[in-house]
Structure 1
Amino acid sequence: MKSRIAQGDWSNDLPGERRIADTLQVGRDTVRLALQQLEKEGVISPAAKGTRRKVLIQQATDYDPSTHAIRVGLLSSKNLELLPQPTLLEVDRIRMALASLGGSLAVFSPSWFHSARPGKRLRELLKEEPCNAWILHRSSAAIQRSMEQTGTPCLIRGYPHEGITLPHLDIDWAAAGRHGAGALWRLGHRRVAVLTPPDALMGVQAAVHGISSLGEPGFEVVVAEEDGTAEGTAKVLNRVFRSNKPPTAVIASRPRQTVTALSWLNLQGLRVPEEVSLLSLGHEPFLDHLLPEISGYWTSPEMVARRLVRRIEVLCQGHGRSGGNPWINPDFRKGKSIGPVRTR
């Protein structure tokens, strides 16, 4: 908040608590504590009924981000409260890392994020919210293309779409998928179902490609797209397992699919892993409470945040590329949900 006041983003009158909370993606209690501290420091005036707090310090004019502490904007498809827990942990670690450098993170989830033509509104946002660099989270091809056209320092937290040359950082989902397929192959599995979400991002597509490219003779992959609901996931599982050649293993590309698949298999009387193996490509903490222990892939949010901030620092120094390996290799946790194919 002090940074935004110094930059001149908030001049004369401070916005209301609700607007500040929405802008900074924090709770109102946090905003109130910050306001009390700013009042003690003489940055803003005391609260008065019916009026907004006044800004008491001199604001900067003609703000130039390059002359101030790093301010990074995160452009997200969803508000923070709707993001998965690992992403929230990652955002929190990014905030901490930037704060240690005297910088800050601002999170934006505009209503036009999924627009087919976001260019005009994106340029308006970049003008209204000056940042040294931006992070694009789960971004569409239209968002990536529009950002690339502006020439703004930017890092994609995810996979770049075809034709996009922006620097990026993401899990090597293709390698994870291929590794998982290989692990199942060595256990005797020859027909595997892969659950994919309706909004299959580039990372999911890369994972499916990695699984399908195993290249072992007789290895078959059945891609089953669900509709984002538990009922939809159960429906596609029912269709796949009622086929003439049911799979002996299921690979979930999303942690939520893992929960639905495990409960559905239990309802069908199919034991995991004795009769069907279950592998999760993604991980969220709630999976740690399931039995049997889920086999899958895990990445430290702290490690990801550190690597991301290092690349952001390079971009803020005026380099066109962020440097370093853009791929993160997740850790494989063997668990107890995959096993050898049962002999009949």
Structure 2
Amino acid sequence: MFTVKTAAEQVAAHLRNELQRGRWVGSMPGRDRLARELGVDGSTIERALGQLERDGLLESQGVGRRRLITLNQSGKRSKRILIVLYEPEDTSHYLVMELCRCLHAAGHETAFAPRSLTQLKHHPERVRKMIEAHPSEAWIVIAGPRPVLEMLAQMPRPGFALFGSISNLPLAGTGPDKIPAMREAIDSLHKNGHSRIVMLAQSIYNDRRLNKVQRVFLEELATRDLPGGESCLPVWDSTPEGLHQCLVALFKENPPTAILVDDWQLSYAVQNFLSRHKGDDYRRVVCICTDYHPCFKWCRPEVSYFYWKPAAVMRRVVRWANNVARGRRDFRQSPVKAKFVESEASLR
């Protein structure tokens, strides 16, 4: 099958090859110079350089300044970066596929761990042993619970936490900073008359520790004298049956008027539950997803959700991988600010 590439895609492919050959070191030539050299207009060059930024090969230094080359140019590739998924099905998640694409574009190899966090029951020691047994030089854990990350942070092998609670740990990582978005969402719900707000979180693990976002959720409820405690942040078995039982229990007494869900797939399951039940208690519920997925733009009526820039997350992961390939220690933690995207449905 033939695919026709745009001029910008062709230029990006050419520049990528030149970068991998080591033609430029440190910083990239400017747009005008590249346009003269390749005989194309500046806007085409800009789109091509933008693609290389999204792939993690370049990093913008601001308007009027040359882009920093972040591609691994040391000639040494990581043998393999092990990716530990949250669930086995996450191999098809758009972020995981984009993660692999960006790492491959930067010259790294990836492999999925033989078992996911859910398959290992989030057991820190089991996760550690699995990583140690794998012939990789570095690892990435996706949405790892705090106890797991505390264990892995002690390993000598370089690691990266993608979407996990890593504050005060000697471990590199990135993910959305959802605290400002959470404050904004609760404030909006309260102003619109919602008196019973519940959050369903898969990330309440066996030890029932709350993460920062969940603590802020409860603090925001308390500030407004709204019901709080475990009734608003229930602990439930992270299975389809467990979710159904939790939802049934929520509507037995004092039904919620708004439900926040921390996973985009769970948000569809909650919406399905609500649509299958009749009565005002179910119809009036506003569902907000504190996760993000591109499929939300296809929803009618529109849904409310927390949004962050996936490209910024990918750039940070690639930069860490490049540092590891160069033998550099990298423990930088770089959160990406999330914002609350509100639909008209949540204003009712």
TM above 0.5, yes or no, is yes
Aligned equivalent of 1:170: 175
- Answering whether residue 314 of structure 2 is matched by residue 308 of structure 1, we say no
Shift in Å, 1:195:
1.6
Aligned equivalent of 1:217: 224
Shift in Å, 1:168:
1.6
Aligned equivalent of 1:328: 336
For residues 12-70 of structure 1, the C-alpha deviation after alignment (integer angstroms, 9 at most, x for no partner) is xxxxxxxxxxxxxxxxxxxxxxxxxxxxxxxxxxxxxxxxxxxxxxxxxxxxxx86224
Aligned equivalent of 2:345: 337
In 2, are the aligned partners of 1:154 and 1:167 still within 8 Å (CA)? yes
Letter of the 2:197 counterpart: V
Aligned equivalent of 1:74: 82
Alignment of 1:139-158 (within 5 A): 139-140=144-145, 143-158=148-163
Task: Return closer, same or farther for 1:147/1:226 CA change in 2, 3 Å cut-off.
Answer: closer
Alpha-carbon separation, structure 1, partners of 2:315 and 2:91: 19
Aligned equivalent of 2:262: 253
Alpha-carbon separation, structure 2, partners of 1:102 and 1:193: 44
Determine helix, strand or coil for the equivalent of 1:223. Answer: coil
For residues 111-152 of structure 1, the C-alpha deviation after alignment (integer angstroms, 9 at most, x for no partner) is 785445244553332xx33x2x32122335564344333322
Shift in Å, 1:185:
1.8
Determine helix, strand or coil for the equivalent of 1:83. Answer: helix
- Answering whether residue 243 of structure 2 is matched by residue 233 of structure 1, we say yes
Task: Return closer, same or farther for 1:241/1:144 CA change in 2, 3 Å cut-off.
Answer: closer
Letter of the 1:188 counterpart: G
Aligned equivalent of 1:36: none
1:208 paired residue among 206, 214, 225 = 214
Task: Return closer, same or farther for 1:311/1:161 CA change in 2, 3 Å cut-off.
Answer: closer
Letter of the 1:326 counterpart: S
Letter of the 1:259 counterpart: Y
Determine helix, strand or coil for the equivalent of 1:337. Answer: helix
In 1, are the aligned partners of 2:262 and 2:291 still within 8 Å (CA)? yes
Letter of the 2:139 counterpart: W
Larger radius of gyration: 1
Letter of the 1:68 counterpart: K
**Greater relative contact order, per chain length (Cα 8 Å cut-off, separation 6+):** 2
Aligned equivalent of 2:291: 282
2:252 paired residue among 234, 242, 249 = 242
In 1, are the aligned partners of 2:316 and 2:334 still within 8 Å (CA)? no
Q: Unaligned stretches of 5+ in structure 1?
A: 1-65
Task: Return closer, same or farther for 1:206/1:271 CA change in 2, 3 Å cut-off.
Answer: farther
Task: Return closer, same or farther for 1:90/1:257 CA change in 2, 3 Å cut-off.
Answer: closer
Aligned equivalent of 2:90: 83
Aligned equivalent of 1:8: none
Alpha-carbon separation, structure 1, partners of 2:147 and 2:214: 23
TM-score under structure 1 length normalisation: 0.64
Shift in Å, 1:72:
4.7
Determine helix, strand or coil for the equivalent of 1:225. Answer: coil
In 2, are the aligned partners of 1:137 and 1:156 still within 8 Å (CA)? yes
Alpha-carbon separation, structure 1, partners of 2:280 and 2:297: 19
TM-score under structure 2 length normalisation: 0.63
